[in-house]
Structure formats: C-alpha cells, structure tokens
Chain A
Amino acid sequence: MNVELRHPVRQRTQRVKPAVIDCDIHPKPSLTALKPYLSSRWWEYLQTYGLRPRHGFAKGYPYPKAAPQAARRDAWPPGGGLPGSDLSFMQAQYLDHYGIEFGVMNPLAPSGQAEQNPDLSAALVAATNEWQIAAMSGRDPRLKASIVVPYEDGEASRAEIHKRAASGDYVQVLLLSRTAEAAGRRRYWPIYEAAVEHGLPVGIHVFGYSGWAMTNTGWPSFYLEETTENATSAQAIVTSFIMEGVFERYPELKIVLIETGFAWLPALGWRLDKIWKRLKDEVPHVKRAPSELIREHFWVSTQPMEEPEDPDHLVEVMEWIGFDRIVFASDYPHWDFDDPFLTLPPSLDEDRRSRILSGNARALFRL
C-alpha cells in the first residue's frame, strides 16, 4: 500500500533490531540499461518487434496494475528512471533505512524469461543476469542475484545455470509462476537438475503469462482477480511437482514460492493426501504422501501475507506449514510492499520471528 515512510528513528530503539533477509526485491533495468549486454542483432530486433510475451498488448499489461509499474508512488528515483533501477536510491529508501542484511533480487520484465522468440529469450536472460551483477550486487554485497533462465527451453536454461552458478553472486534459480506447462512437467527437469547440481534453490515468483486462461474456467475481468489467482496457479504448481514425481527424481530439490501467499498450502496438502490415497495406482512413482513432500521441499515467502479477521488463525496456518519453512519478503518497490518490522503477526515469539526474518533464509541460501 502507499503509505508515508515512517521516520527512521523508531520508538523501539532500546531493542536491538532483528536481522532481516529479504527474499523478494525487484531490481528493474530498462531495456536501454540492458543494451550493453545485448548483441546488435537482438537490440535491433527489440527496436523493431519489441517484447512479445504470451498476451496481446504491445505495451503494458492485460490487466492494468494498481499503480504505474505496480510500484509504490514514492519509489520512483528522484534522479529519474524506473522504481528499482537506481541502486543508491534503493539503498537510501530501503536497504539502509531498514538495515537489511541481505536481499535476494528477483528481476521481472523485461528479463525475457517467457519471451515467445526462444533465442531472444536466451539473450535477454543472459543480459539480465549480467546486469544484476554489474549494476547491483557487484556494487552492494547485501544484494544477491537470481539466475533468470529462458524457462520454456529446458536445455538453454540448463546452459545458463551452468554459465552463472560458479559466481557466488547468484543464490537461486528464478522462474515465473505462469509457465506454458505446469512446472513439474518433464520439459522443465533440466532446470531442476542443474539447480540441484549447483546446490541452488529454485524460486518461483508469481506472474508471467502462460498463454492459457488465468483460471481453469476462463479469463477473469479484473486485476483483483488476476492477482488473487496467483494462488490458484501456485496450487497447480505444487500439485504438478508432486504428482510428476519431481522430488523422487531430485530429492535435493528446494522450491521457494515467492509472492504466492501461503495460507492455502496446508489445505492443498490435505486434499492431495486424500486424493493420492484413492488414486495411488495412477501415479506409482509418487512414493510418499504429498503433505510430507510439501513439508520437505517447499519454502514460502511472507508477502503478500494473508490477513484473517482473527490473527491467531494465521499463526495456526504457519504452524501447519512449519516455522522453518517461512521466509520474509518485502516485494520492494511494489505497491503492496510489506514492512519487515510491522508485517508479522504480533503474537509470534522472538525465536519464530527471527527465523522468518532471517534464520530460514540464511540456511536456505547459505548466506
């Protein structure tokens, strides 16, 4: 939401501020910022044909966002450029202000991850990966990069992961949630194989365009629905990972669900357990109960955190998920940003709070 920033000197100064590792910061290069990392072939192609995601709009989005660039209105750098493009402004407004220990960057458009032209997709993700280091993490060691991959091409993704992983700057492989097929399908397995090989978790951030209707009953009308439906897509992702047997094949694989919400996860596990029990003979490769596989292989990030009328209900859901599986995310600089010191349910004790704010992410990303 768009609120005035609080004064940096907080009332709680007598207490030591807990460490914060933010698992969802959005750096935003303009296409021009990516130009130094693109060949003239692709630069000229982009000038002529532009980006072509799997939707119909040459500019903007099928469902207009809540704000320009889906950003906080105060996140536009005073010196110009897009929210998330200016490191020094990001430092002042966010990293320094909140004393962020580490922040994992998740670049979204124009990263080219789901661009229809597969060769352009591969070129754009490579440029985005290089830009993250040159413009951001190379200049501020608090920022950690994600390897963005041209995920509709499994082998090209594998190659991109191999190319980047040796540098310690990248802490995860990043996919968007609306892939052309559900993420457990075999075409994506080279991505998981490479991630496991390099000991990197796979983060799946909401949005993107699968090309299919955003609900299994057709296209909704409103951005309110589009963003709500990110949770249903995430449910299909978890279901697919489990029923395709991905975790039997890659037992070391760790999946981080980013900006999907999490209150739906226990109920999904209960449903899948029950159906799996009935239909086991259809998926004999799934050896363990779905809820066990979820408990072992999935992490969830906090923002946007569901808000029940009774806050204790959320704590119960967190208990069902496991306090070792929840990591803090702010979504800076987007409009629905969460403040690390105001967001978590007040009834959480210091141990649980500190695990969510930093401990779980520190272990997950080996920071």
Chain B
Amino acid sequence: MPELKAIDCDVHPGVPDIKALSPYLDEHWRDAVEERGIPSLESISYPPNAPLTARPDWRGQNGVAAASVADLAPHVFDRWGADRAILNCLYGVQLVFNEDMAVAFARAVNNWIVKEWLDRDPRLAASIVVPPQNVEAAVDEIERCGSDRRFVQILLLAMGEVPLGRRSLWPIYAASERLDLPIGIHAGSAYRHPVTSLGWPSYYVEDYAAQAQAFQSQVASLISEGVFAKFPALKVVLIESGVTWLPGFLWRFAKFWRGLRTEVPWVDRSPAEIVRDHFRLTIQPLDGPTSPEAVERAIDHLRSDDMLLYASDFPHWQFDGEQPLPAGIPAGLTRKILLENPIATYNRLKGS
C-alpha cells in the first residue's frame, strides 16, 4: 500500500432527502415518516441555503452539496490530495425528543453511511452517529458499528442536554476507550438550551459564533468532572471548533483550577497538560488573524505540535480558493497536521 500523505478529518456527507433513509428504517418509522409527514431532520445549526453551509461552487444543480461520493471525492481526494477522509454526518438525530425515534434514525444514518459511502469508496472512514438521548442505546450503537473498522470515531454535538463531562454519559467514554474509538465533538446543537448562556440571540451569525463557546464549556466539563482520571486513554477531537480560542481559555481555566482545585481533587495536574495529552482540534476553521505572521504566533500559543489535524470541512464554506490549510501554518508543522497527528489520533486508520 502506498504511503499516505494526508487525512482529511472532517467532511460532511449530506442526507439528500429523508426518503434516502427509508431503506434503513424499520417499518414503524418508515411509515411514521409518511403518515406523520416528517419532512426532514436537518438542523438549523446549518440552514440548508446559508452561505456557510456549502460553498456556492460546491453546490450541485439542486443546491445540495456532498450528497454522494461523486460530489465529495473530486474535491477532497483529487484536488486537495487527501488519501483518506472521515465522514461526520450532521443529520439532526441528536435533536429528536423521542428517544426511540432517535435510536431508529441513528441506526438508519449509520447503515446509510455504510452502504452509500463506505462501501463505494475505500478511502472513506466514518464517525458513528449515536443517540445521546439514551446512553444505553448509544453504547449499543457504538458496539454494533464499532465492529466495522471503517468506523473510526464516536460523534457527539458541541451543545447537548448536559455538559459532556457529566457522569451519566461515562458509559460512552468507557466504550470509546474499550473500542479505540476517539470521541469527536462536532459543532452543532441539540437545541436543549439557548445557544448562549444569555438566551436566544437574534441572528444565525450569533448561533454559529456561539459554537466556539460550547467547546470551551465542554473542555471545562470533561476535565472538571474527572473524565480523564477515570479514562486515561480517552482521546477527544474538537471538530469545526475553531482553534485560536484554546490558549486563552486554558490560561484562564488553569489559573482558576490552581485556586479552586480542592473542589475537583481528581484533577491532579494542570488542565493545560491534560488538554495537550487528550484533546485534538481540526484545522478548519482556524479562526486566525489575517496576517500569516500573527497566525504563526497564535499557533505557537498552543505550545504543542501534536494537536492540530488536517480538515477541509467540505462542503462548509471555511476557505476560498483551493488550499484548505490556512496561510501561516509553520512549514515544520505541515506534515504533522496533514498526516502524523491524524494517524496518531485514529488508531483504526493505521495500516488500513
């Protein structure tokens, strides 16, 4: 097998229509879609026609982007030179309030991914969509899909019902460690809470901006609750999180931890060290400054060469032109970001 050059750690297969899932739903839910007129589970985290949801030149004739392997492969593999790509399907299973329905749709989405994507292009890998509405069912789905080595990660949304460190969710982390499937936390909300701690904002632009705040809260929660003391091999990938917020957040969080560590005695070393050991971030969007020199400074603030993973975020409109890597990434880091860091994160991609 030829040596890999790059792994794209965040691309989005779009469910073209709820009917595309029909073959993968059981009879009850297949009928429910028809009889109850369920139009779609698409999320307002990515309004279908909003500019950010798909770059205009990547949309097909019907306005939909990345609805099939043929829409995705020419960009991700042929133009940008990745050898492998990880599919993160953002169909809004996590938003559903009926947990039986969420379980049915998570299974359907995962089976659709296998048949319509993984079976059609061996360069593709995927994250397991799980129903966090029911932790037991989520673990069942992880175990069901995890036996297929093409599933390389467990996908959760940045905004859910409770912060992700909460102990009710720990069976998911036990499964993650046991099956060598990192936890991928992707931008998006289950809309159980307003997207800011100050209520519902007026504009979509604020909703998307607020994603970066959710990631800060999740890092704080996962560390404060002691998840990494309990699961020392756990890896967490922050996907489409933005990157430049992380250093300033850690300087604040680590300082407060020093002052308040008696409250969380299981956190026995600085959160900054825990983050460098356990967390990875995808590179799009970087949310960097405009000058490449300042980008280099901002990346230096991470104090780690191991944390960034290459991602195009296709078809979300994060960059113009044909270069997914932001300008200003230090030359010595490029190979780490493109290949070495993703390989070190996703053991299931090694030698596959």
A residues near B (Cβ < 8 Å) are 1, 66, 178-183, 185, 210, 212-225, 227-229, 231-233, 235-237, 239-240, 243-244, 261, 263-264, 266-268, 270-276, 278-279, 281-283, 304, 306-310, 313-314, 316-317, 320, 335-336
A1 (CB) vs chain B CBs: closest residue? B259
22 contacts between A and B (CB under 8 A): A182-B206, A212-B197, A215-B163, A216-B189, A216-B193, A216-B217, A217-B189, A217-B193, A221-B224, A229-B197, A231-B216, A233-B196, A235-B212, A264-B249, A271-B242, A275-B52, A275-B205, A275-B208, A279-B208, A307-B254, A308-B251, A310-B303
Contact A317 B248 (CB under 8 A): yes
Contact A243 B202 (CB under 8 A): yes
Please name all residues of chain B whose beta carbon is closer than 8 Å to the beta carbon of A217 when the two chains form the complex. Answer: 158-164, 189, 192-193, 214, 217-218, 221
Contact B198 A218 (CB under 8 A): no
Complex Cα spacing A275 to B161, Å: 26
* Interfacial residues of chain B within 202-225, with CB under 8 A of chain A in the complex: 202-206, 208-210, 212-214, 216-218, 220-221, 224-225
Please name all residues of chain A whose beta carbon is closer than 8 Å to the beta carbon of B244 when the two chains form the complex. Answer: 266-267, 270-271
Complex Cα spacing A152 to B164, Å: 31
Please name all residues of chain B whose beta carbon is closer than 8 Å to the beta carbon of A270 when the two chains form the complex. Answer: 244, 287-290
Chain B's interface size range is 35 or more
Please name all residues of chain A whose beta carbon is closer than 8 Å to the beta carbon of B253 when the two chains form the complex. Answer: 228
- Would you give the shortest CB distance from A326 to chain B, in whole angstroms? 14
Contact A216 B210 (CB under 8 A): yes
- Of B224, B249, B251, B298, chain A has the most CB atoms within 10 Å of the CB of B251
Give the contacting residue for B252; candidates A223, A272, A306, A313; CB below 8 A: A306
Contact A218 B208 (CB under 8 A): no
**Closest 7 A/B residue pairs (Cβ):** A263-B248, A306-B251, A215-B217, A236-B196, A267-B244, A232-B213, A271-B287
A261 (CB) vs chain B CBs: closest residue? B252
Contact A233 B224 (CB under 8 A): no
Please name all residues of chain B whose beta carbon is closer than 8 Å to the beta carbon of A228 when the two chains form the complex. Answer: 216, 220, 252-253, 256
Complex Cα spacing A222 to B195, Å: 20
Please name all residues of chain B whose beta carbon is closer than 8 Å to the beta carbon of A227 when the two chains form the complex. Answer: 256, 260
Complex Cα spacing A282 to B203, Å: 7
**Contact flag A233-B198 (CB < 8 Å), given A215-B217, A221-B224, A228-B253:** yes
Please name all residues of chain A whose beta carbon is closer than 8 Å to the beta carbon of B52 when the two chains form the complex. Answer: 275, 278-279
Please name all residues of chain B whose beta carbon is closer than 8 Å to the beta carbon of A244 when the two chains form the complex. Answer: 202
**Contact flag A309-B242 (CB < 8 Å), given A236-B213, A266-B289:** no
User: Would you call B144 an interface residue if the criterion is a C-beta within 8 Å of the partner chain's C-beta atoms?
Assistant: no
